[in-house]
Amino acid sequence: MNISILAIETSCDDTSAAVIKDGIVLSNVIANQSVHEEYGGVVPELASRSHQQNIVPVVHKALAVANVSVSDISAIAYTRGPGLLGSLLVGASFAKGFSLAQSCPMIEVNHLHAHVLANFIRMQNETEPLPSFPFLCLLVSGGHTQIIVAHDFNKMNIIGSTIDDAAGEAFDKCAKVMGLPYPGGPHIDRYAQNGNPQAFTFGKPNIPDLNFSFSGLKTSFLYTLRKLVAENPEFISQNIHDLCASIQYSIVDILMHKLLQAVEQTGITEIVIGGGVAANSELRNTIQQQGKVRGWKTHIPPIAYTTDNAAMVAVAAYYTYFTEKFASHSISPKARYSLHEYFEFQHL
Ligand code: KG4
Ligand code: ZN
């Protein structure tokens, strides 16, 4: 066959490039941007500037690790959206330049589609079974929280979404309240390892259907802490493990509640997870344990494929390549770009 695709991911604050050859990912290089840490969140202007600095060296490294030369590339793929516009523009412009210079087709990828298909990333010698269709995907990232029914690689329906904050945002905002660095999700996960998840309880959302809400939980967490810190200024540092374990438990509980409902409603028991929050150890353990108890077939991607990376963009592009839906050079990135809009645009 010999299809080699170079894929670029620049939707937020990670600059990444990957090479996929005949469905096998040969390289996945990621440059993280530490510049945002001191600001407690991603600064869009700084993110696009860092992407500009990183993109060429990251691509060079991805090609070198894969041992593939520029002339071997059959198509260039990039994330069109959703994400930060200035960041997306860097990847899109690079892809257009590459496509023109190499006279190869360009494939646009939806970031959320890529997070779902991260479960299909296969490096050489990896033999874990791939998910089979139809499956339910709990997609939990810094910007999105959705339950998706995947009927095929390019046929997916969203059956539940957050009506306010995303799960990752809930982690990050609660971490900020405790004075933890950005992004706070991994810090909460680490402190929670030695904490009691039942030490504190917070308000639970009561949202109909398969939709989620996290803003009430965040407010409940903030008010509880304000009161406790007013009584004891050292409260956070003295209780950091229990606080992290309790807020993590609450977030995972909200996610699991709706996932169970989705399984009941659809009858689908093939379950996958994706997005940065899928790196969370409590969520990973709970899904695996529930899967055993309830007879689900669960697929938990390696942690490296949960947060933003170009390998997932490469896999999504690989399965799109065969539909021959190549992108025109005149399309622009989209800061907001739902999965439905993407499939409609692609006529898939
Ligand atoms: O998918 P991602 O890399 O970027 C977006 O597309 O948004 O997700 C980033 C999110 C952040 O909110 C981060 O705090 C969260 O994933 N995250 C975690 C963990 N690792 C990353 N949240 C909880 N536990 C973790 N171990
Ligand atoms: Zn993401």
* pLDDT tens across the length of the chain (348 residues): 799 999 999 999 999 999 999 999 999 999 988 888 888 888 899 999 999 999 999 999 999 999 999 999 999 999 999 999 999 999 999 999 999 999 999 999 999 999 999 999 999 988 889 999 999 999 999 999 999 999 999 999 999 999 999 999 999 999 999 999 999 999 999 999 999 999 999 988 999 999 999 999 999 999 999 999 999 999 999 999 999 999 999 999 999 999 999 999 999 999 999 999 999 999 999 999 999 999 999 999 999 999 999 999 999 999 999 999 999 999 999 999 999 999 988 765
Do 175 and 322 lie in a common domain? no
CB proximity list for 191: less than 8 A, separation 6 or greater: 240, 241, 243, 244, 245
Write out the two tokens for 240: 């950091």
- pTM (2 d.p.): 0.96
Do 176 and 87 lie in a common domain? no
Structural domain span for residue 310:
4-121+305-346
Q: Is 114 in the pocket of ligand 1 (CB under 6 A)?
A: no
Residue 129 maps to a domain: no
Most ligand 1 atoms within 8 A of CB, residue of 139, 141, 165, 336 to mutate: 141
Cis peptide before 129 (omega within 30 of 0): no
Taking the alpha carbons at both ends of the chain, their separation in whole angstroms is: 23
Q: Is 83 in the pocket of ligand 1 (CB under 6 A)?
A: no
- The continuous run of DSSP H or E covering 27 comes out as strand 24-32
Do 296 and 309 lie in a common domain? no
Do 147 and 287 lie in a common domain? yes
Residue 258 maps to a domain: yes
d(CA 336, CA 4): 29
d(CA 304, CA 118): 10
CA of residue 295 to ligand 2 center, whole Å: 29
Nearest Cα residue to atom 13 of ligand 1: 185
Q: What is the DSSP letter of 76?
A: E
How many domains does one find in the chain? 2
The answer to whether 337 and 110 are in contact (CB under 8 A) is: yes
Residue 126 maps to a domain: no
d(CA 263, CA 260): 5
